[in-house]
Structures are given as C-alpha cells and as structure tokens.
A and B are shown apart, each in its own frame.
Chain A
Amino acid sequence: MKEVRFHGRGGQGAVTAAQILAKAAFYDGKFCQAFPFFGVERRGAPVMAFTRIDDEKIRLRSQIYEPNYVIVQDPTLMDSVDVTSGIKDGGIILINTLKDIKLNGYDVKTIDATGIALEVLGVPIVNTTLCGAFAGLTGEVTIESLKKSILETFPGKLGPKNADAAEKAYNLTKGL
C-alpha cells in the first residue's frame, strides 16, 4: 500500500487533489481511498488530506501517520507544520516552490506549480498541477488515468485546462 499526504491551505483544493489521485489510481485498476484530515479549518488555514493506493481492497480506517509521499502546496506551510512528520524511509517530499529547498535527510523535489497554474489556468490553484508532478515523479498513477480523473472532477471548461496543467507538470517531472 502507498500512502500520500497533502499539505495545503483551506480553499486550495488539497482534499480535491487527494480525491483526484485516488480516482486516477482506480482508473489504473487499483484500489483507493482518499479523505481529509477531519478538521474544522476554514479558508486559508493549514489543512491535510490523504490518499491510499493498493492492489487489494483497502480496509484500513486509521489516519495516515507514515506516508510514502508528501505533497506541499504552499512552502509557507513549513513555518508552522512539520511536513516531514512520519515519512517512510525512501519517501519523497514534493514542494511547490520557486526556491531550491533542502530538508536534511529527506528526498525533496521542487516544482514551480504556481507558475504552471498561472500560465495554463490563469489562477494560482495548484492542486491538479501537483498531481501531474506527482504522477511524473513517482509513477504511482499514469498520466492517462490522472487526466481522466481530472476531466471527471471538473466538468466543463475547467476540465481540459486542469488536465493540461497536470500534463505539463508531468512532463517536467517525469524521470526526475
């Protein structure tokens, strides 16, 4: 089983991202589960969301304490939240940033998801872009399934745009 933890701010779509990833895994023929950290956070406050992916039916109902992957939507979160908490050996932390961030002892990958989102979507909403980057980096979900999941999540004009943003990030991170 692979476990992913998203760090975001209320309103940035972390929960949606976790669900998009879960659905993408499902389209790849895997079992999945996605859920938010069950809080009362409002827009702007730090939030978490989780995705589980497995080849077998997922029955486990506890929260995720030792993720394989961590996705950070906003680097300023790292001032108040320990994004490295519990991460498994060999785990990857994907951070949306312009800077070259290093965290001692952790495999950190960075991407300017905000830049891609602004360019493709016209708004700094990075959740789908980061999903694309995650797919490129880890290969846990295929880009085809991810795009299908995104198109289903955003019916109408937003769908193709978000799928493009994800694909752009995917191509930048593939094989990194």
Chain B
Amino acid sequence: MCEVKVITGTSAAAEAAKLADVDVIAAYPITPQTTCVEKLADFVANGELNAEYIKVESEHSAMSASIGASAAGARAFTATSSQGLALMHEVLFSAAGMRVPVVMMNANRALSAPINIWNDQQDSLSQRDTGWIQLYAEDNQEVLDLVIQAFKIAEDEKVLLPVMVNLDGFILTHTVEPVTVPKQENVLDFIGTYEPKHAYLDPKKPMTQGALGDPNYYMETRYAIETAMRNAEKVIADVHDAFAEKFNRAYGNGLIESYNLEKAENVIIAMGSICGTIKDIIDLKKKEGVEIGLLKIRCYRPLPVEMIKDALKNAKNVAILDKSISLGMNKGAIYADVASHLKDKKTVNYIVGLGGRDITPEDILGIYDDVEISEDGKTNWIGLKEE
C-alpha cells in the first residue's frame, strides 16, 4: 500500500532519494532547493536513510564529491538551483564524460544579475550541452516519480549518464499538494541495487578513471555520449512504461505528453509546472467547443524530435513557451531546438515567466489567441512592462 502525503516538491524529491536508498548525498544549500537537502539531513539524522551525507562547502564540490562517490560505485544524489548549477557547470561535463549515473534535483530559478530567487528555467537550459539527461516535472507527484525513474534510467547499461530532474522553483518547490509515496520495497524492486560493471574504485581491481583523452580518442568519447543519449530515448520510455504498470501512474510516453492534440490546430509546446495551467485552459475551452492542445516536453535532453514532430502532425499554429532567453538571438532554448523541425507549421516563440513573473490563465488564453494571428517566427515577451 502507498501513503499519500501533502508535501512540497522538494520534499517529494527527498522522499524519492530516500526510497532509492541512496548511499551518498553531497549537497550545499541554495534557495529554493534547501528544503530538499534539509529533509534528507533529517532522514539521515533519524536513521531513516543509511547514507553518508557530505556537507560540502560549495556546489562545485557537491558535484565533484557526487562524481567521486558514483565513480567509487555508490548511488549518489545531490540537489541544487540556479547559481549553484552554474557553479557546477565545469564538472557537469565531467560527470557525463566519466559516465557516472549521478541523479540531481534542480530547482529551476533565474540567474543573476540582478539577483533573483524566483522561477524560470534559464539555469538548467543553459546546461543543455553538458551531456546530462534533463527531465522536467509538472507537479510534485511527477517530481517523486521522475526521481525514482531517474535512477533506473541513469544506471541502465545502455545509458550510464547523469540525470537532472527539474522542478519549477517555488511554484513546485514550496507548494504542498497530495503526493502518493510508494513503499520502499516496491521502489527498490523496481530500480534494483546499483552494481556498476564499468566504473568503481576497488583496490582488488584497480582502474583509472578520468584519464587524458588526446585527439585520437576525444571525438569518440563525445560520440559515445551521443549514442547513449539516443539509447536513453528508448530506455526513458521503457522505464516510464514499467513504472506506469507497477505504480499506476503514466505521463504520456515518458518523453512527451500530448493533451488534446488530435483535433487542435492551435497548440502550445511547454515544459514544467505551467503545463497544469494550460491543461485547465484546454478543458475550459473544450466545454465551449473550442479545441486547443498542449505538447508537454518531459524530457528535454535527449530531445525526442521525431516524437514531437509526430505528435504535432495535426497542428497548424504552434506557440512555443520558453522560460529562458538566448540573449542576442531573442529566442528561448526550446524554440531554438524545436522550431526548425516544424517547418510546415507556423511557430511563434513566447518568452514567459522570467525571474518569477507570474503566468496567469489569461496569459495562456492570450497566447492561444495570438498564435493564430501572429506572424511566423516572431518572438513575444509575455507580460513585459514596456515604457
């Protein structure tokens, strides 16, 4: 039997890490991630979780210690946000290149300057090329489910890549709502024990990890990560399906989720918590006899391009929502990645919610109206106060 708890998104992530019986946690506090690592500290302090908790002196060291722990053969978990993730940037590449299946929760938050603790997705999207699998949650239940799935995906021999589970800062991290927490025995039965065959540090079988790769070898190592990313598409879907069967909760096909896309010509592509508000609007309009749709991206890296194209085959006008901005290009990351694959459709980019600017149901209604009349390829900043 499961237990339903009314908890925050950060607590849901902490519960999931506990259920996965992680061996090592190395973490540094940052708003709005803190309640996750506080909760984990409580679990360890109360003997509910048998793990080494390393209270590192920075996020750079949090990731470095996580890599060290995972390379030694332990199941490692950490959590961060925004500036902390940016500080990790260098070693995020190392984690992927060294093929250590670290799982990290990231509380999506804007980047300085000006300093801003509120939600957008600039932090994780700025890490898109580091070789991390990136998953995004719509609600706190999905946070818990994704963190559990993340371990199974990361540790799959066909993948062996680190996974970042993203949740919108405050909107999920600090919001309580009912979350079904499965039994640990069922979770461990689902993900298994981490027994790495490729990387561990044991004097009985010494290996060298983190070697120098000269021009003879480097390109192949990058290609191997790309291959693992492509493998991950199937693994993520399979893990999702197996999870759905065991725990009775499904999210589209695991990589994307289609919501009323069959008859809709005007559709939104979005990622994260805003998808909930959009679904409400879609149901509202359906009652009025208007068909609009949503394509939710759950997995941003690897980006399931073919799935996205297929899901949008009936769409005409595609509004792509970005909580990030590539400055100097006036496009968000999702638009930049996706639009070129939708050449037969009108695509319009909407920059929304930067630095915690609230996105209201009216904003979403306005976007559905606008995408029909707006010109192709345009970028609109929603809610911008222009002087």
Our verdict on whether A and B bind, yes or no, reads: yes
B54 in the interface (beta carbon within 8 A): no
Q: Is the CB of B279 within 8 A of A26?
A: no
Please give, as numbers and ranges, the residues of chain A lying within 8 Å of B119 by CB-CB distance.
Answer: 38
Provided the pairs A32-B178, A38-B356 are in contact, do residues A61 and B117 lie with their beta carbons within 8 angstroms?
Answer: no
* B31-82 interface (Cβ within 8 A of A): 32
Among B32, B169, B177: residue with most chain A CB under 10 A: B177
B316 in the interface (beta carbon within 8 A): no
Interface string of B9-21 (1 = CB under 8 A from A): 0000000000000
Q: Which of B87-95, B156-164, B269-277, B342-350 contacts A (4 or more CB under 8 A)?
A: B269-277
Q: Is the CB of B176 within 8 A of A22?
A: yes
Q: Which bucket holds chain B's interface residue count?
A: 20 to 34
* B339-376 interface (Cβ within 8 A of A): 356, 358-361
Report the bound CA distance from A23 to B5 in whole Å: 9
Report the bound CA distance from A60 to B177 in whole Å: 12
Please give, as numbers and ranges, the residues of chain A lying within 8 Å of B356 by CB-CB distance.
Answer: 38
Q: Is the CB of B6 within 8 A of A19?
A: yes
Please give, as numbers and ranges, the residues of chain A lying within 8 Å of B361 by CB-CB distance.
Answer: 60, 62
Among B119, B171, B178, B361: residue with most chain A CB under 10 A: B178
B170 in the interface (beta carbon within 8 A): yes
A40 in the interface (beta carbon within 8 A): yes
Q: Which bucket holds chain A's interface residue count?
A: 10 to 19
Q: Is the CB of A62 within 8 A of B176?
A: no
Please give, as numbers and ranges, the residues of chain A lying within 8 Å of B280 by CB-CB distance.
Answer: 59-60
Report the bound CA distance from A26 to B176 in whole Å: 11
Please give, as numbers and ranges, the residues of chain B lying within 8 Å of A76 by CB-CB distance.
Answer: none
Please give, as numbers and ranges, the residues of chain A lying within 8 Å of B170 by CB-CB distance.
Answer: 35-36, 38
Q: Is the CB of B360 within 8 A of A32?
A: no
A154 in the interface (beta carbon within 8 A): no
B234 in the interface (beta carbon within 8 A): no
Provided the pairs A22-B6, A60-B277 are in contact, do residues A34 and B360 lie with their beta carbons within 8 angstroms?
Answer: no
Q: Is the CB of B6 within 8 A of A32?
A: yes
A118 in the interface (beta carbon within 8 A): no
The smallest C-beta distance from B175 to any residue of chain A, in angstroms, reads 4
B123 in the interface (beta carbon within 8 A): no
B233 in the interface (beta carbon within 8 A): no
* B232-247 interface (Cβ within 8 A of A): none
Among B175, B359, B360: residue with most chain A CB under 10 A: B175
Provided the pairs A32-B6, A38-B170 are in contact, do residues A61 and B177 lie with their beta carbons within 8 angstroms?
Answer: no
Option from A23, A33, A40, A65 in Cβ contact (under 8 Å) with B175: A33
| A33 and chain B: residue at smallest CB distance | B177
Q: Is the CB of A35 within 8 A of B178?
A: no
* B135-154 interface (Cβ within 8 A of A): 138-139
A63 in the interface (beta carbon within 8 A): yes
| A51 and chain B: residue at smallest CB distance | B176
| A63 and chain B: residue at smallest CB distance | B358
Report the bound CA distance from A34 to B358 in whole Å: 16
Report the bound CA distance from A22 to B32 in whole Å: 21
Please give, as numbers and ranges, the residues of chain A lying within 8 Å of B168 by CB-CB distance.
Answer: 61
B118 in the interface (beta carbon within 8 A): yes
Please give, as numbers and ranges, the residues of chain B lying within 8 Å of A101 by CB-CB distance.
Answer: none
Q: Is the CB of A35 within 8 A of B175?
A: yes
Contacts A22-B177, A60-B361 aside, 19 further interface pairs with beta carbons under 8 A come to: A22-B6, A22-B176, A31-B178, A35-B175, A36-B174, A38-B117, A38-B118, A38-B171, A58-B276, A59-B138, A59-B277, A59-B279, A60-B276, A60-B280, A61-B168, A61-B274, A63-B358, A63-B360, A65-B360
Residues of B within 8 A of A (CB): 4, 6, 32, 117-119, 138-139, 168-171, 174-178, 273-274, 276-277, 279-280, 356, 358-361
